[in-house]
Structure 1
Amino acid sequence: MTGSTTQTRDHIGHAHHHHHSHDTSYLISSNKKDAGVRITRIGLYVNLGMAIGKGFGGYVFNSQALIADAIHSLTDLVSDIMTLATVSWSLKPPSERFPSGYGKVESLGSLGVSGILLGGGLMMGWAALIALCQQFFPDFAEAAAHWGLLPHSHGHSHSHDDLGPNINAAWLAGGSILIKEWLYRATLKVANERKSSVLASNAYHHRVDSLTAFVALLMIAGSNVLNNASWLDPVGGLVISLMVVQAGWGNTKASLMELADVGVEDEMKGNVRRAATKALDGVSTGPAANHVEIRSIQGVKSGQNYLMDIELAVPGTWTVEQTRGIEDLVRERVGGKVRGVKRVRVRFISKSSEQPDFLDEFIRPDMSAKSSPEPEEEEHSHSHDHGHNHKTTNGNARKRK
């Protein structure tokens, strides 16, 4: 259970939130003979090669669209590298120092990566806007450069920048389309054979990368074929940078929400409720039959791990042994059937009580320690009669035992 299957909702438009939609099952698997593992690793290496190739080619051939597409290729690559770097931490069992596990390590890594992507997209968009401004509003660009708002342009001379991208940049964009389209079809073939939604999602990423490369190809070719259309290349860079910014912002927002312990989505709650209901339906005999009611479900996401809380209502006459048996049954079923769930905490209430939820576990403001004088009085009493209090405490402890 190394990933999440509930994050496909993030595939809205192009903002495919990379680190959330990636299941790491195939990426971290050591079974290199497996077709799914092999095609996933190939995709990782291809993203690395294409990001370097398109970035270098975009610089040499003076194509902002190609450079922006190279940054876009980095989105999946950096996400996968981050996953490999943090997954061993995020899946470690909880410890005394980290009682909720290490999942937030991945959330922190995701925040850093998405911040880099967001910054990179903004920088590319700014560069494209500068290029457009210098072409269409040269006087304004000169004035802005004078005040330090824009870099100095080269006047009205036809410099290397004014001539637009070299036509050879189109070969790199075209090659990117072919490679990504092949990866899309190869990954989708394995996904259909395995009926794997994870591989199908990865195939979708390859298709989107192919489409962004197609945008770059159109802009590069158009700026070379059409007369006085060198502005098309920065327009393509601006379009692709907006895609990167959209995805980067989506990832940043999701990471911040995870770190702030936002509640899990309704889809995950529904999955947990169905699994818990089936576990309780299995109790067909004995005193537990038809006596347990699921009152509330909540949880938080910690990296790839889901930490869930379930509130069950049972008859008030039940013993601790009876509730313990139900708790083990529900935990085993939910943990085994709902992918990504790493902790299930069960809370029992009486069926005769009202419909409470988990908010009643929080201490009311009027009962907080700051508003209560008792700790200070206890400390004052403790300082006057240390020996007596020490004996009394030990005596009470022995009675409780």
Structure 2
Amino acid sequence: MAEQKKAKVVTVGLEDLQTPFQNSACKSKEGVRVTVIGMIVNIILTIIKIAAGFIGNSAALIADGVHSLSDLLSDFVVIFSIRISAKPEDETHNYGHKKIETLASVIVGLMLLFAGISILYEGAVTIYEFTQGVPIEKPAMIAFYVALISIACKELLYQYTHRVAKKLGSDMIEVNAWHHRTDAFSSVGVAAGIGVAILLGDQWAIIDPIMAVLLALYILYIAFKIIYNSINDLMEASLDPEVNDEIKSVILNCGGVLNVHSLKTRKLGSSKAIDVHIMVDEDLTVKEASVIQKDIEKCLKERFGDDTYVIVKIEPFLDRKAEREKHILDGL
């Protein structure tokens, strides 16, 4: 019986070790699928918007097409990163490869930054030339219709990608979702600018590049925010205070824990890493304390995902107040 029981324990342990990688593989497939769909849409929109921009005399739509091109490039980065991050731990990467997701977020943010700078420059040059007497040709209706199509496609793509990102807990896919939304917002501005220019005549054609500049500033804001948050994660920033408080609550409610201290947390891509010291009754046996430790690991993984890295260190609970009182009494 003892041998059978021992064999059963070993089997359960192996399953627990395999679960995070199996979950990562499932996440990888779903993450790649949503990104490939986005990539196909971006290829089509990039071609259509740039072509319609030239045909319809819209600098804003051409700039918007460049933004879609940056989305396309970011899709390739995301797919590559998802494949790498799904790999399990090895001898040279003891914590797995999930940090590649954070690095990819920085790269996507930089792409967004360069796209914003490019749009800003082109719009500013057009506005300057207009002030110097260079006329701006009124956009054609084809540019307006394409901008409307882009708004619908990119907003639907954002909603879909955002849902998948929340489901998988992936910051990298969430960043890519915002890449889609910024493209939708830029298309809103383009459509508004083109519509005003068409309705009010050539003298209002300046609205087109002005909208391009305003949207470029918004894109730059999003890019800086993405880059800042991603670099912060690369520098091992701790999780949000609310999450840390929730971790402590989960541990204390798990049972057998008398105190929690020295909690350290960080992000590993879409996963979380938790390192914590717990205090238990000093009269417990090593086996009993080990059971509490395993229960805490289970509780944390159930709450934050099977791919959460958990390190629990056990210490005997010491009642400092009782110790001080005992010391005073001994002195008397």
Provide TM-score, normalisation by structure 2. 0.72
Contact 1:67 1:237 in 2 (8 A): no
1:26 to 20, 30, 44: 30
Partner letter of residue 314 of structure 1? Answer: V
Whether 2:198 is the aligned partner of 1:224: answer yes
The equivalent residue for 1:32 is none
* 1:306-321 equivalences in 2 (<5 Å): 306-321=272-287
Q: Name the SS for the 2:90 alignment partner.
A: coil
- TM-superposition CA deviations, 1:269-315 (whole Å, max 9, x none): 244334333432xxxxxxxx4x5323343311121121111221123
Q: Which residue of 2 aligns with 1:66?
A: 61
From 132, 142, 163, give the equivalent of 2:137: 163
Match of 1:51 among 40, 46, 53: 46
Match of 1:299 in 2: 265
Name 1:134's counterpart in structure 2. Answer: 129
Tell whether the 8 Å contact from 1:69 to 1:240 is kept in structure 2 after alignment. no
2:268 maps to amino acid = S
- Matched residue type, 2:214: V
- Deviation for aligned residue 1:232: 0.6
Paired letter, 2:186: T
CA contact (8 A) 2:67 2:115 kept: no
**Residue among 260, 268, 288 paired with 2:243:** 268
Gap change, CA 1:196 and 1:260, over 3 Å in 2: closer
DSSP 3-state at the match of 1:28: helix
Matched ranges for 1:190-205 at <5 A: none
Sort the Cα spacing of 1:350 and 1:62 in 2 relative to 1 into closer, same or farther, 3 A: farther
Of 236, 239, 259, the residue aligned with 2:211 is 236
Q: 1:338-357, aligned counterparts within 5 Å?
A: 338-339=304-305, 341-352=307-318
Q: Tell me the secondary structure at the aligned position of residue 222 of structure 1.
A: helix
Distance 1:297 1:121, change over 3 A: same
**Shift in Å, 1:27:** 2.9
Q: Offset at 1:74?
A: 4.9
How far, CA to CA, are the matches of 1:113 and 1:208 in structure 2? 13
Structure 1 counterpart of 2:232: 257
Residue 241 of structure 1, CA deviation? 1.3
Q: Max radius of gyration: which structure?
A: 1
Question: Contact 2:87/2:96 (CA < 8 Å) preserved in 1?
Answer: yes
| 2: CA distance, partners of 1:328 / 1:243 | 48
In structure 1, which of residues 106, 120, 133 is the aligned counterpart of residue 101 of structure 2? 106
SS at match of 1:299: strand
Q: Is the 8 A contact 1:111 1:251 kept in 2?
A: yes
SS of residue in 2 equivalent to 1:349: strand
| 1:329 to partner: Cα distance | 1.3
Partner residue of 1:245 out of 217, 220, 233:
220
SS at match of 2:109: helix
Name which of 140, 149, 162 aligns with 1:175: 149
| Structure 1: gaps of 5 or more residues | 3-22, 30-36, 139-155, 281-288, 355-401
CA distance in 2, matches of 1:206, 1:117: 11
- Report the 3-state secondary structure (helix = DSSP H, G, I; strand = E; otherwise coil) of the residue aligned with 1:168: helix
**Amino acid aligned to 1:172:** V
Distance 2:71 2:249 in 1: 33
Greater fraction helix:
2
Deviation at 1:338, TM superposition (A): 0.9
Distance 1:74 1:132, change over 3 A: same
Change (3 A) 1:320 1:72: farther
Normalising by structure 1, we get a TM-score of: 0.61
State the alpha-carbon separation in 1 of the partners of residues 288 and 226 from structure 2.
44
Instruction: Give the 3-state SS of the residue equivalent to 1:83 in structure 2.
Output: helix
Question: What's the CA shift for 1:219?
Answer: 0.4
Secondary structure of 1:165 counterpart? coil
Aligned residue type for 1:264:
L
Matched residue count: 287
